[in-house]
Structure 1
């Protein structure tokens, strides 16, 4: 059987690979990859340096590569540190970087007309950095705080212990950021020597994707990068990991609510003939809700709240990774259940339909990776730097043509059921108290067309043929304002339940239908709205709208599904309570909003969810999903007439319940002044909160700029708190936006003994802005960044569909985004000053510190 029996899938791949990739090399050895995409006036420029934590030689475990990534933003021979991000943002771009085991990547996304500026900056920071001595110590303190953050993050902790256990000699066993003790011993000369040894044009790749021609790409690459000299690159010794011979375990305990676990199986290199088949096996076993492990361990045995499977394979060797969340009492049963399921699968085989679904999902994943310029550039860089073949994706899918159910299931026996896996878990101590719940029994037009349907519902349509995808959202007003006391979190649970049992299909059948075609069908929610979204290839439009119709008209709210999803939402709540930032954000919200419905987030409260029943969900559905509160928004490469006909049929069958919008009036913060919450973590998180306006307020663009002025690496707040004073690893501003009101807050991750100083800097910065002390360059950079962010957001059909639907529900013009640039440009310093003085800084703020309790 050919896994490519679907002709539509073949056509999709044929169209994707028709776009040519240009590859050339400069005289100094710099490899350049370019793909032209003129669907938006954007470009992604990326420099991939072939150096990561596995290349640090005698400094293995020190995190030199990550340290350098930070330092390259501190100044060059021609630019001071702050000027780097300021210049990028002034041109409308966003700059960032990341480090992994085998590479360090610097990337700028922004308007294509600024490509020359972006390349000049990337060349400057990569090959002319001065590594200022005074910044080395400052950034050391910042990274030490980042290391503490990693120790506070339970997901990072269980991943770290997995790598340490699965790899005994290979540098993969060391965290990319380094070990604190080894990192602290790094000197400024060590850092400079590593930079000089590894950062050279002949050890780097420049990737350009976007609205730029190949001749222009070649010309600009020569202009900005050809003056750097080729250098000798020494390849550090990287020991080969010996074969794992037996089972290994690592069980860690701490102050956690649930158990996080990983089962890791050694797998061969990316160049192994079985590599694509292992990816397909991972999807069959744990890729989605119709997968084998999800169905057996979550739906049938109810041992886990979440489980997924993936192949982590950076090149030479990798891990077949099974991750799960479960309650403490189920911890000892999960490993056995996974292995029993693998054994059963070898005997029962993998259904051809499941294999076809997995292959189709791989195709859809390839399509999705090309939604944005940044995604396309990243795909090219990965193929070149990690695999060594820019056209790797084409050959990868050619190799998948030989995949069969027998060849895939055979890998279970040879690669997974050999007794040589690693089990790592992180959870509470056996005696630790824990919360338990008892279940009850192209450049097409960007404007949307508005079509009024029977009964008062609205259909919004936007044709876009740039990718063969169709995205449809059904959106309603809902969320905290529409939830009564004792039912907090019911709207989010409703949005999940709508994508499960509906009409004649049970939850498993719905999942199989959408995953078999490589689509997605999800629920979503926010402070003011909720809905469901479906995305498929264009050939599956009818199926997508069928599923959407059934979900809206005939949801079943089956008892078994309800219990599973309710308990899963409770588990997610408990899991997020382990993260200090989320914990603090929830407590801040409760103290700020008091009795107002916005005092609780969309996931709700554990005790409220525990008391809900399917009847409650059904009543909530009838209350909120009615024609007067429903907007259907469709974007992509769809057939207009058949979509309208199908959705008109939907609306003709809906209930005719009337809908009354809720009032979100809020008088002001329930609490002000300084307060403390305790959590046993290494770091402290501080918050300072003020009243905010709502999403429909005419001053929204002014507050958007205000928030931007307080965010990002070029903000004065960032430079003062992190760069100059080394008080925090991260610092910025956030918002809880309601329809007519909200909460505006500053936050920072700091050391417990530095919280007071951070609050002082918060006060100084807010006072500066309230006094109107904003220079025009600062304002201009913020506007450019916001306009580019909007342009980048508009790349995906899902984002466009959601924004148009929200505008309709909020009483705004559906194509209001068209005016975004002009309204952003119209904001003056006086507008920001006025909104601060008159609407935000009207009383003392609420300040909340979350840190260790007194000893």
Structure 2
């Protein structure tokens, strides 16, 4: 249902009863591209200020009101819009609608709150400045847009943000936050007619007409190649190659999307296979067509070693220009269409995903019919059309090339230009086009399997259970609302089974288990996966090793067979193991580009002195050197087999079919497992510990924590409630350290359990001059929850927030499949997710305080700090 109020408010309602949740989004049609130069960052500041109080709610109360009703609330700003969104339990739909309306319609913009929030945004700018990928992205847009306001960062600049007054904020708000400039989108479990009546009551008297926006200066056609090479103290080079392309309403849109898919979407895409896998020139590579309201960019991006930059640029351009010369093969085009079409199905798994799609279509394309027209056009696109758009747009004379790397970068801007010119000259003419790539292996025949009908009765939480002759446990939960299926294999193991010598082997195993089988090469496996639009991913955690697959329901049988082939007969070829080991070593080498990750690594090593939880899951250069194919195969065979397997299947699948295939594929899988290692108990710290490191960054990162609970400990849920009282936008830490004292953009508390003792802690990212006060503030808040019980109101907010977030998070089949498999493997029971609500709601204030007293000993806290160099 779509309609418009007399005052111009656009309303879009879509009922979806798949889960008891509702997504509500207010799309304000103003973004950073609508700002004047002096206003740079003002749209984003509104995103912050609309959480800082209304005439009915004080600072922090918007988030608390939503979180206390089991909801999640946030916002984002882009070039073209600002979006306020919340997802909430359907029983609180009306309250959620009232809060969102109040937030957007009646914010007060208190001057003191404004000054504090400006400091928070400054911290956010510093945080982005410490991220190499964000700096490279900013440089790309500055290069590609010399006149258009897309060339400015959405977040603004420190000097403009600090200059904003309340009059500036109010003027911008009154000009743009008018009902005729807002689209209200609601998707989920609600009654549309009742919603319409309530919307009319809340919004019907809203007045005002949009005051117009600053004219966006059109970006002139590029007059030549542009490049920028930046040398900084980074461990990994970030490359962006981008060509200007039309906006989203262009007739060329679909062909450009398919060109990007052929190049970079899926494991068998040209860039992934040719540049990353075959030549090992980069750690990661991707492509996409960015098509906003105004003309966009066709982007090829990569992360790589500094010395690989010349070869990576050359080969990436070669692949792009090869597509320009010859177009995709028939098989490539078919796979690209299938992958792009399948994306619309996955988007339907969550109500917030559907709402975001509808809001985007309405505000950016002007029509909810855009999706239907897009997919109709997609089905008729030809290889010649793709070749044509590439020939028109993807030329070196239109190219923007950005390199952000270390001092070791072996080329400058002149050398980059020379490579681009050389590759342009080398583009074969259409008459001399390169030969088409060899045909891909044919997908398995899609003959629906038939199995004897068996009367089955589901157990708790609607889960069907069967134990196979091999010892494997199979759990099936039908969920027919969306035609997709998620499969998860889980084994006890992971980091917990490692020692100094074997550290990192499970992570390497997870990387290589999808890189070929006994009868298929890695390239053949990637091709078949993409043809099926299936995703296969190995997963190594702190307590488990696993393998996941996500399939369209129509492809379940061939995809599940491929899943079993990977799990039962992984290849572990010499070349594949060496390639993945090299990539894992790159991850280790480039960790320093993420100071927050460095802080968590410091914390783990300071907290755990004996237990394997102290290790970095990536391992070390020394440990990885010993992992040849024989060692990985022996590790896998000796620890993961049928009698240690829990297999969960969740989605649009018939139980008899699922169990029949599982029995066929896993019923005779013989196990050869060795005795699992004995893992010792980590003793509690006898005194306070502190670890620190200095880095060349703008922000400091601090983690203060304690040894925590195990999965089986009775205090587990009380600690979860405590973390929720402290964390979240309505929590104590956010309110005291961010809202009141402007110390940070990011501050949170977390509770991580394990088979053995996990940890409870607090993280904050702040300016170095605020670090001491931030730590003291954290300690003060922790001391308060130890000294006295939390309030009834805080308890209720935390309980409802945890229960609601849990329900929101379990909308996707893959989330349910993971929960079912892991909880069964850990001995908690497959149905544990269905008991979460009653367990959380049973927690009392006294239990929360008792848990705080038991686990949060401030005299024996562990602190890790990463701070800027002096």
- The residue that corresponds to 2:197 in the other structure is 219
Shift of 1:184: 1.9
2:89 to 102, 106, 111: 111
Shift of 1:232: 4.0
Tell me the distance in 1 between the aligned counterparts of 2:480 and 2:598: 43
Shift of 1:718: 1.1
SS in 2 for 1:426: strand
SS in 2 for 1:475: strand
Kindly indicate whether the alpha-carbon contact (under 8 Å) linking 1:304 and 1:326 is maintained by their aligned counterparts in 2: yes
SS in 2 for 1:244: coil
1:690-743 residue CA offsets vs partner (Å, 9 max, x unmatched): 110112223211111111112111111111111111122211113443212012
- The residue that corresponds to 1:34 in the other structure is 13
2:149 to 156, 163, 171: 171
Is 1:53 aligned to residue 68 of structure 2?
no
Tell me the distance in 2 between the aligned counterparts of 1:320 and 1:281: 9
Matches within 5 A, 1:594-673: 594-658=609-673, 660-661=675-676, 662-669=678-685, 672-673=688-689
Is 1:420 aligned to residue 420 of structure 2?
no
1:715 to 709, 731, 751: 731
Tell me the distance in 2 between the aligned counterparts of 1:262 and 1:560: 28
SS in 2 for 1:407: helix
- The residue that corresponds to 2:853 in the other structure is 837
Tell me the distance in 2 between the aligned counterparts of 1:150 and 1:670: 38
Tell me the distance in 2 between the aligned counterparts of 1:730 and 1:184: 19
Is 1:755 aligned to residue 733 of structure 2?
no
Tell me the distance in 2 between the aligned counterparts of 1:693 and 1:361: 42
Is 1:812 aligned to residue 828 of structure 2?
yes
Shift of 1:289: 1.5
Kindly indicate whether the alpha-carbon contact (under 8 Å) linking 2:752 and 2:759 is maintained by their aligned counterparts in 1: yes
Is 1:513 aligned to residue 492 of structure 2?
no
Is 1:825 aligned to residue 835 of structure 2?
no
Kindly indicate whether the alpha-carbon contact (under 8 Å) linking 1:463 and 1:637 is maintained by their aligned counterparts in 2: yes
Tell me the distance in 2 between the aligned counterparts of 1:773 and 1:393: 52
2:741 to 702, 709, 725: 725
- The residue that corresponds to 2:108 in the other structure is 130
Tell me the distance in 1 between the aligned counterparts of 2:674 and 2:269: 39
- The residue that corresponds to 1:767 in the other structure is 783
- The residue that corresponds to 2:66 in the other structure is 88
- The residue that corresponds to 1:687 in the other structure is 703
Are residues 468 and 825 of structure 1, via their aligned partners in 2, closer, same or farther at CA, if it must alter by over 3 Å? same
Shift of 1:558: 0.8
Is 1:533 aligned to residue 533 of structure 2?
no
Are residues 446 and 425 of structure 1, via their aligned partners in 2, closer, same or farther at CA, if it must alter by over 3 Å? farther
SS in 2 for 1:401: helix
- The residue that corresponds to 1:11 in the other structure is none
List runs of 5+ in structure 2 lacking aligned partners. 411-457
Are residues 374 and 445 of structure 1, via their aligned partners in 2, closer, same or farther at CA, if it must alter by over 3 Å? farther
Matches within 5 A, 1:361-440: 361-430=339-408
2:472 to 457, 476, 482: 457
1:697 to 713, 720, 742: 713
Tell me the distance in 1 between the aligned counterparts of 2:123 and 2:66: 27
Tell me the distance in 2 between the aligned counterparts of 1:445 and 1:291: 43
| Structure 2 length-normalised TM | 0.92
Shift of 1:85: 1.4
Are residues 399 and 727 of structure 1, via their aligned partners in 2, closer, same or farther at CA, if it must alter by over 3 Å? same
Kindly indicate whether the alpha-carbon contact (under 8 Å) linking 1:636 and 1:797 is maintained by their aligned counterparts in 2: yes
SS in 1 for 2:462: coil
Shift of 1:565: 1.4
- The residue that corresponds to 1:188 in the other structure is 166
- The residue that corresponds to 1:439 in the other structure is none
Kindly indicate whether the alpha-carbon contact (under 8 Å) linking 2:337 and 2:379 is maintained by their aligned counterparts in 1: no
SS in 2 for 1:595: coil
Tell me the distance in 1 between the aligned counterparts of 2:768 and 2:110: 28
Tell me the distance in 2 between the aligned counterparts of 1:232 and 1:752: 42
Shift of 1:787: 0.6
Kindly indicate whether the alpha-carbon contact (under 8 Å) linking 1:200 and 1:229 is maintained by their aligned counterparts in 2: yes
Tell me the distance in 1 between the aligned counterparts of 2:679 and 2:472: 21
Is 1:798 aligned to residue 814 of structure 2?
yes
SS in 2 for 1:577: helix
- The residue that corresponds to 1:543 in the other structure is 558
SS in 1 for 2:470: helix
Tell me the distance in 1 between the aligned counterparts of 2:621 and 2:751: 24
- The residue that corresponds to 1:556 in the other structure is 571
Is 1:148 aligned to residue 126 of structure 2?
yes
Shift of 1:213: 2.5
2:332 to 354, 357, 361: 354
1:81-140 residue CA offsets vs partner (Å, 9 max, x unmatched): 222111112221111111111111001101112111111111111111110011111011
Tell me the distance in 1 between the aligned counterparts of 2:9 and 2:325: 51
Kindly indicate whether the alpha-carbon contact (under 8 Å) linking 2:547 and 2:567 is maintained by their aligned counterparts in 1: no
Kindly indicate whether the alpha-carbon contact (under 8 Å) linking 1:444 and 1:463 is maintained by their aligned counterparts in 2: no
Tell me the distance in 2 between the aligned counterparts of 1:449 and 1:842: 46
Are residues 576 and 222 of structure 1, via their aligned partners in 2, closer, same or farther at CA, if it must alter by over 3 Å? farther
Moved more, 637-646 or 114-123: 637-646
Kindly indicate whether the alpha-carbon contact (under 8 Å) linking 1:626 and 1:654 is maintained by their aligned counterparts in 2: yes
Tell me the distance in 2 between the aligned counterparts of 1:272 and 1:225: 34
1:161 to 113, 132, 139: 139
Question: How many aligned residue pairs are there?
Answer: 822
Shift of 1:478: 1.6
Matches within 5 A, 1:189-204: 189-204=167-182
- The residue that corresponds to 2:4 in the other structure is 25
Are residues 736 and 39 of structure 1, via their aligned partners in 2, closer, same or farther at CA, if it must alter by over 3 Å? closer
Deviating above 6 A after TM superposition, structure 1's stretches of 4 or more consecutive aligned residues are: none
| Structure 1 length-normalised TM | 0.94
Is 1:101 aligned to residue 75 of structure 2?
no
Shift of 1:619: 1.1
- The residue that corresponds to 1:503 in the other structure is 518
Is 1:467 aligned to residue 482 of structure 2?
yes
